[in-house]
Chains A and B, each alone.
Chain A
C-alpha cells in the first residue's frame, strides 16, 4: 500500500485551507454548471420530441434502429459509473495503486463506448443530412459523444495526477476527482435518458 501524496505536502495544504474551502463553494459552481449543461440537453430533447410528435416521418417509420450496440453502450457507461465510484473509495483509503487501476478501467470503458458508438454510426443506413430525424439523431448522440470524449480525457488527466508524486489529486485534495466523478455520473444519467427517448420510445 503506497500513500498517494508525500506527508509534508499534505500537511502544508491543510494549513492554508480557508473558511471557503471547508464550505466548498466549488461544489456549488460545479452543480450550477451541470444544471446549465443539462439544460442544453433538455433543449435538444424537447426539440427532438416535438419534431417526433409534429412531423409525420419518424426514424421508426423509415428505419428500424438496431438495439444491440446502444444496449451494450448503456451497460458500458453504467459499469463505468460503478468503477469510478470504486476508484473513489480507494482514494479515500489512500490506496493509490488500486485507485489508479479502477480509474484506468473507467477511462477504458469510456473509450470503448466511443468506439462502439463509431461502429454504430458506420452501420446506420442514414447520413446527417438525409432527413430531419437523421439530423436530430446525430445531433443528440454526437453532442453526448462529445461529453464522453471530454470526460474520458479528464479521467486520464486525473489518473495521471494520482500517478505522479507532485500530482494535485490525492486524499487531501479530492475535489478535482470528485468533480470529474460527478460530471461522469451526469453524463451517464443523460445517456440513460437519451437511450430511452431515442431508441425505446
Chain B
C-alpha cells in the first residue's frame, strides 16, 4: 500500500537549515522543536535553581540579612513561576512529547507543525520578559499564586509583566495540548489501535485534556486580575465589592490540574523506561490506561482542597476531602504496576533506571503526605507551613524532575547518537538523591512545628533544621555539575550509541540515531506490542523486524 504519511502541504524542506543552526531557528521538525524545548527549559531550570539557592542562603540565619524582604518576595515568586511554567510543564510535555509522540503514533510529524513551532517560540520571550521585570520596577512579589488583594496592592508593573508572561506561556501550553490531541487521536498509522499505543501517548492524551479544559480558566482569571490592576475594576478587590475567594476557586481550577499536567507525563515516561531496563512487559497495561483517565477526571474536581482554610463551607470540605483521597486509588494502581513490572525482571541499574526508582520512592513519600493533607483537620494545622512546601517539592522535584533526568539518560543516545557515561550518571543520581532528601525531608518537621512558608525571618528554634536543608540544597546545586560535564563530554568524545543501545521495542528505537528528518527511511514500522519483552513470537517482532 503506498500511502504518504507526510502532511501533504508540509513546508518542512523549505524551513530546514542544517547543522547546529537548525536548533536556533524556526524549524518545523518535531524532533528539533522537542530538543529546543528541552535545552531552553534546562537553561530556565538553572536560573530557577539559582533563585532557590538564594532563598536557602537567606534562610541559613533566622534574621533577614542576605537580601531585603521585597527582593526575597520577588525571588520567591520568580523561582516558583520559572520552575513551573518554564521548566517542568514545557519539558515533560513539550520536549519529550514533541520528540516521542510522532514516533509512537507512527507519523512523520505532529498534526500542526507550524502551531508547534509557534508554541515553542512563545516560551523564550515570555521567560526573558518575566526575568527582566526584576530590573524594571521590581518583579512580582505575590508568589506564584498571585492571590489578590496582595497582587493588586503591590507595585503594578512587575505584576502585569508576570500576568502577561503567564498568559503567553498558557497559550503555548494550550497550542501544544491541541496539537497532541489531534496527533494522538487522528494521526495514528493505519492498523494501530488506541490500546496498542505506548503508555506515554495515553499520559500525553490525558495531560492534553487537562490542559485544554483548565488552562483557559486561568487565562480568563488573569485577564480579570489585570483589569483590576490596570483599570481599577473590582472583580477581586474587596474594597470595591469584589470577592477574593472567587479568584482562589478559578486559580486552583487550573493550578490543581497543573500538578497532574506536571506528573502525568512523568508517569508515562517512567512507564516507558522501566520495562526496557528490566526486560519485562509493562504490568497491567489496561489498568494503567484507566488509572490515567481516572486521575484526569478526579484531578478536575478536587481543586478546593487548597482552600480548606479560606472559609469553605463544611459540605464542600467533605466533598473535596473524599475526592482528593480517591485520587490515591488510581495513583496507587500505577505504583503497584510499576513495582510488579520490576518484580523478577533482569534489572540493569544504569542511571536512567536509578532515577526512575528514585522517582518511585520520592513520589510515594510525597503521595502519602498528600493523602494526609487532604484531611481537613491536618490541613488546617499545617496549612501554609513548610510541610506543604516539602510535600509539593516531593511531588514536583522528586516526581517530575527525577523523571526528566531519567528520560535524558534514557533518550540521549537517540537524541545525539552518543552514549552518556553511566558511572558519572550514577554519581549524579546519588548526589541528587541525597541532596534532595536532605533538603526537603527536614522541612516536614519545620512545618509540623509551625514554621510558615514564604517568610524571610523565622523563629531561632528552627535554625538548625533550616541549615541542614540549605546543605541539601547546596548538594542539589552541585549535582548539576557532573550532569553538565557528562553531557559535554559525551557530545564531544562520547562512544557511538548505535540505533538501539537498550534493545528496546518502542518505535523510536527502530530508526537510526539521530533519526532522519522524515523519522524513517521508507515506511514507518507497525509496532503492535511496544512492551513485548521476553516473549517469543510476539506480534511485534513479526511486524517490525522484517
Contacts and interface: CB of A to CB of B under 8 A. Distances in A.
Interface of A: 16-21, 23-26, 28-29, 32-33, 35-37, 39-44, 46-47, 50-51, 54-55, 57, 128-129, 131-132, 135-136, 139, 143
Interface residues of B, number: 48
Ranked nearest first, the 3 interchain pairs of A and B with the lowest CB-CB distance are A25-B186, A43-B217, A135-B233
A6 B531 CA distance: 51
A28 to B, nearest CB: 4
A36 B212 contact: yes
A136 B212 contact: no
B138 interface: no
B241 A132 contact: yes
Contacts of B182: 25-26, 28-29, 32
A17 B7 CA distance: 8
Given A39-B212, A47-B250, A57-B241, A129 B233 contact: yes
Given A28-B182, A55-B243, A143-B223, 20 more contacts: A20-B111, A25-B182, A25-B185, A29-B178, A35-B212, A35-B213, A36-B177, A36-B212, A40-B216, A40-B217, A43-B216, A43-B217, A43-B253, A47-B224, A47-B235, A128-B231, A129-B232, A135-B227, A136-B235, A139-B233
A61 B88 CA distance: 47
Nearest to B112: A29
Contacts of A136: 235
A59 B275 CA distance: 61
Contacts of A23: 186
A46 to B, nearest CB: 7
B190 interface: yes
B267 to A, nearest CB: 22
21 contacts: A16-B4, A18-B3, A18-B6, A21-B8, A24-B186, A28-B181, A32-B182, A33-B178, A35-B212, A36-B212, A40-B216, A43-B217, A43-B220, A43-B221, A44-B224, A46-B250, A51-B246, A57-B241, A129-B232, A129-B233, A131-B240
Given A32-B182, A46-B250, A135 B190 contact: no
Contacts of B246: 47, 50-51, 54
B14 to A, nearest CB: 16
A54 B223 CA distance: 21
A28 B184 CA distance: 10
A36 B208 CA distance: 11
Contacts of A16: 4, 8-9
Given A19-B4, A26-B182, A28-B186, A131 B216 contact: no
A23 B181 CA distance: 14
Contacts, number: 128
B114 to A, nearest CB: 12
B515 interface: no
Contacts of A25: 111, 182-183, 185-187
Contacts of B174: 33, 36
B235 A32 contact: no
A39 B241 contact: no
A42 B496 CA distance: 53
B220 A40 contact: yes
A127 to B, nearest CB: 10
B479 to A, nearest CB: 38
Contact of A20 (B187, B215, B223, B231): B187
Contacts of B250: 43, 46-47
Nearest to A45: B220
Contact of A129 (B185, B224, B231): B231
B126 to A, nearest CB: 18
Contacts of A55: 241, 243
B234 A131 contact: yes
B430 interface: no
Given A51-B243, A54-B243, A36 B253 contact: no
Q: Pick from A37, A40, A131 the residue with the most CB of B within 10 Å.
A: A40
A129 B219 CA distance: 21
Contact of B178 (A19, A21, A32): A32
A16 B375 CA distance: 59
Contacts of A18: 3-8
Nearest to B237: A132
Nearest to A15: B8
B249 interface: yes
Contact of B181 (A29, A42, A46): A29
A23 to B, nearest CB: 5
Interface string B99-129: 0000000010001100100000000000000
A110 to B, nearest CB: 23
B8 A36 contact: no
B545 to A, nearest CB: 24
Contacts of A129: 231-234
Nearest to B232: A129
- Name, among A18, A37, A55, the residue most crowded by chain B CB atoms within 10 Å (CB to CB): A18
Contacts of B6: 18
A191 B120 CA distance: 33
A29 B241 CA distance: 40
Contacts of B185: 25, 28
A42 to B, nearest CB: 7
B93 to A, nearest CB: 15
Interface in B440-494: none
B181 A32 contact: yes
B283 to A, nearest CB: 31
B243 A50 contact: yes
B248 to A, nearest CB: 11
Contacts of A35: 212-213
Contacts of B115: 29
Contact of A36 (B190, B216, B235, B242): B216
A19 B224 contact: no
| Centre residue among B4, B7, B220 by max chain A CB count within 10 A | B220
Contacts of B235: 47, 51, 132, 135-136, 139
Interface in B1-55: 3-9
A51 B183 CA distance: 39
B311 to A, nearest CB: 11
B77 interface: no
A131 B187 contact: no
Interface in B210-264: 212-217, 219-221, 223-224, 227, 231-235, 240-243, 246, 249-250, 253
Nearest to B241: A132
Interface string B495-516: 0000000000000000000000
B61 interface: no
Given A44-B220, A47-B250, A20 B7 contact: yes
B432 interface: no
Contacts of B233: 128-129, 135, 139
